[in-house]
Amino acid sequence: MKTLSGLMTINKPEGMTSRQTVTRVSNVLRQAGYGRQIRVGHCGTLDPLATGLIVICVGRSTRLVQLIQEQPKIYTGTFQLGRVTSTDDCTGETLRETEPDPEAVSRRAILDLLPEFTGNIEQVPPQFSAVHVNGKRAYKLARQGREVELSARPVQIHRLELTDFELTEFGLQIECGSGTYIRSLGRDIGHRLGCGATMKTLNRSAIGSFTLDDAVMPHEVTPENVESLVRPPINAVAHLPSVEITERQKERVYDGRPIEVGALDHLISDPEFDGEEPTRLVLIDTKQQLVAISSYTHEEGTAKPDMVFHDPPRD
C-alpha cells in the first residue's frame, strides 16, 4: 500500500469548515491510490467565517500537529463598532447596537488601548467556542440557550497593530500565540471604547514559517498533483534547534535508544535554553531529512528520541 508523510498548506475560503478542508484532502488522497486508513489532520481550526492558512498534516506527520499549532500565528481582522453579538462575530444574534460617540471613539483612542492588549494577557473565550465546560463544548451549551460562565485564560499577543479606522469599523493585524480568540480581542477593545464591537472578517496569513505564499485553494488539490503539494515533515520543526547525526546513530534512534551529541553551542546560546531541564532537539540525517524529535540533556550531552519519523531500514 502506498504511504505518504508530510505537510500541505491550504488557503481556506469563507463558508468552508476546517473539517471540510481535511475531508477534501482525504478524498483526493484516496483517489490518488492511498488507502482509506491514511491519517490526515489540521493545525488550528478556522471558523467558517474566517479565511486563510490551514496546515494539513498527512500520514505519520500528523504527530507534528501540536508542534505546529504552538507556533505564533498572524491574523488580519476587521471589527464593527457599536454592535455586540452572541458569537462575538457578525454571524451571531445582535444583542445590542449603539451609535459610537465620535468624541470617545477615535483612531487615537484605539491606539492608546492597544498596549493594554499586548503581551501576556487574560482573555475570556466567546460563549460560542470549543472550550470545554463540565465535559461539554461551550458552543453546544450556547446553542441550547444556556449561558455559561467562562474563566479568563492566559494568552500571548506578540504584536498588535491598527491597520484601518473609521467611526463604525477598525482593522487589526495580530501576531499571537496558541489559544487566542481574535473575536474576544475585538469584543474587549469595543467594550473598553464603551460602544462594543463584533468581528466582521478574519484572515490567517501565517503559522510559524508557513505562509499563504505557497498555499493552494482546496479545489486546486487533485489526485494528479497532491503528492507534489506535500512538503517534507522537517518544515514543521524549522523553529527548533537541530543536529545532524550519523547513519550509525540513526540506527540507534530507530531502536529508541539515546545517542551522544555532545555540547551544542548553538543551543546553549539560545536565551530560552534551560541547561537543567531536557529541551527539544531535532535529529536530522546526512540528507537533511527528519529522523526524530528528541529530549536533549545538556549535562549528559545526550538526545533521547521521543518521536521517530522514518521507518527503520529493511533487509
Question: Would you kindly state where each structural domain of the chain is located, as residue ranges?
Answer: 6-71+209-234, 77-201, 240-308
Positive or negative CA dihedral for 74, 79, 85, 91? negative
Asked if 18 contacts 57 with a C-beta cutoff of 8 angstroms, the reply is: no
Q: How far apart are CA 112 and CA 11, in angstroms?
A: 33
Helix/strand/coil percentages in the chain, nearest 5? 25, 35, 40
Please provide residue 300's backbone torsions phi and psi, each rounded to the nearest 5 degrees: -95, -15
CATH code reported for the domain at 6-71+209-234:
3.30.2350.10
DSSP per residue, 154-184: EEEEEEEEEEEEETTEEEEEEEE-TT--HHH
pLDDT > 70 fraction of the chain, expressed in percent and rounded: 86
The model's pLDDT over 224-238, given as tens digits with 9 standing for 90+, comes to: 999 999 999 999 998
Span between the terminal Cα atoms of the chain, in Å: 18
Give the three-state DSSP class for 229: helix
pLDDT of residue 269 exceeding 70: no
Is the pLDDT reported for residue 223 higher than 80? yes
Q: Do domains 77-201 and 240-308 have the same CATH topology?
A: no
Pick among 3.30.2350.10, 3.90.1200.10, 3.40.640.10, 1.10.357.140: CATH of 77-201: 3.30.2350.10
pLDDT of residue 266: 58
At residue 144, does pLDDT exceed 80? no
Q: What local confidence, expressed as pLDDT, does residue 14 receive?
A: 97
How many other C-beta atoms can be found within 10 angstroms of the C-beta atom of residue 71?
Answer: 21
Phi-psi region of 40 (alpha: psi -120 to 50; beta: other; left: phi over 0): beta
For the annotated catalytic residues, the residue numbers are 47
Longest dimension (CA), the chain: 77
CATH code of the region 240-308: 2.30.130.10
How far, in Å, CA of 294 to CA of 61, rounded?
Answer: 15
pLDDT grade for 128, boundaries at 50, 70 and 90: low
- 26 residue type, one letter: S
> What phi, psi does 185 have (nearest 5°)?
-60, -50
Q: Which residues pair with 186 in a beta bridge?
A: none
Grid cell in block for residue 64: 507534528
Query: How many other C-beta atoms are found inside a 10 Å radius of the C-beta of residue 51?
Result: 21
Task: Report how far residue 12's alpha carbon sits from residue 18's, in angstroms, rounded to the nearest whole number.
Answer: 8
pLDDT tops 90 at residue 141:
no
Cα angle 309, 284, 248; round to 5: 90
To 5 degrees, how large is the angle CA 247–CA 265–CA 207? 80
313 pLDDT band, cuts 50/70/90, is: very low
The beta strands (E) that lie in the chain are given as: 6-12, 40-43, 51-58, 73-81, 83-85, 94-97, 119-123, 132-133, 136-137, 153-166, 169-176, 197-207, 210-211, 242-244, 259-260, 279-284, 290-297, 302-308
Distance CA 313, CA 227 (A): 23
